[in-house]
């Protein structure tokens, strides 16, 4: 049964067919971030007040470096998806919406790249 009004059918308004995928991506990244961020809370408690060299050494551990990279990737994807949702819901000018969506993508790529570069530099330096 079609729930759209006759005017909505004529205008082609309705589902863009991507809402469910977006919903699951946001939920999946948020669920993935729970154990990753809990790892960081434990890590911070364990290394609070330790010498800089000890912290760098711990961050150079392959397991910790992998968790670090996964946390960065999941966080950036989650941030990008969240901002996309906000932009699409609250910006009504199509030109402004498109501009902000492109800036959101570029910003996410830039921040993610810089964070991964820093994490890899620490991982391979120690």
Determine whether 76 is exposed, middle or buried from the number of CB atoms within 10 Å of its CB (0-12, 13-18, 19+).
buried
Report which of 54, 48, 68 is spatially closest to residue 123, judged by C-alpha positions: 68
Q: Using alpha carbons, list the distances in angstroms from residue 7 to 14, 49, 94, 110.
A: 11, 65, 21, 43
> What pLDDT, on the 0 to 100 scale, is given for residue 2?
60
> What pLDDT, on the 0 to 100 scale, is given for residue 11?
65
With 90 as the cut, is the pLDDT of residue 5 above it? no
With 80 as the cut, is the pLDDT of residue 14 above it? no
- Helix boundaries (H) for the chain: 6-11, 19-47, 52-59, 62-90, 94-125
> What pLDDT, on the 0 to 100 scale, is given for residue 19?
74
> What pLDDT, on the 0 to 100 scale, is given for residue 45?
96
Rounded to two decimals, what is the model's pTM? 0.82
CA 58, CA 67: separation in Å to the nearest integer?
12
**pLDDT tens per residue across span 50-97:** 999 999 999 999 999 999 999 999 999 999 999 999 999 999 999 999
| C-beta separation of 46 from 93 below 8 A | no
The fold of the 20-125 domain, in CATH, is 3 helical TM bundles of succinate and fumarate reductases (1.20.1300)
With 80 as the cut, is the pLDDT of residue 107 above it? yes
In this structure, the dihedral spanned by the alpha carbons of residues 20, 24, 27 and 31, taken in order and rounded to 10 degrees, is 170
């Amino acid at each position: 049964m079609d729930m759209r009004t006759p005017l909505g059918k004529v205008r082609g308004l309705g589902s863009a067919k991507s809402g469910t995928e977006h919903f699951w991506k946001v939920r999946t990244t948020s669920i993935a971030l729970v154990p990753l961020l809990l790892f960081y809370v434990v890590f911070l408690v364990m290394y609070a007040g330790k010498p800089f060299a000890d912290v760098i050494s711990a961050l150079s551990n392959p397991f910790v470096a992998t968790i670090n990279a996964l946390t960065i990737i999941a966080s950036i994807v989650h941030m990008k998806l969240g901002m996309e949702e906000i932009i699409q819901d609250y910006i009504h000018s199509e030109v402004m919406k498109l501009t902000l969506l492109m800036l959101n993508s570029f910003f996410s790529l830039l921040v993610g790249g810089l964070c991964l570069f820093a994490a890899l530099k620490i991982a391979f330096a120690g």
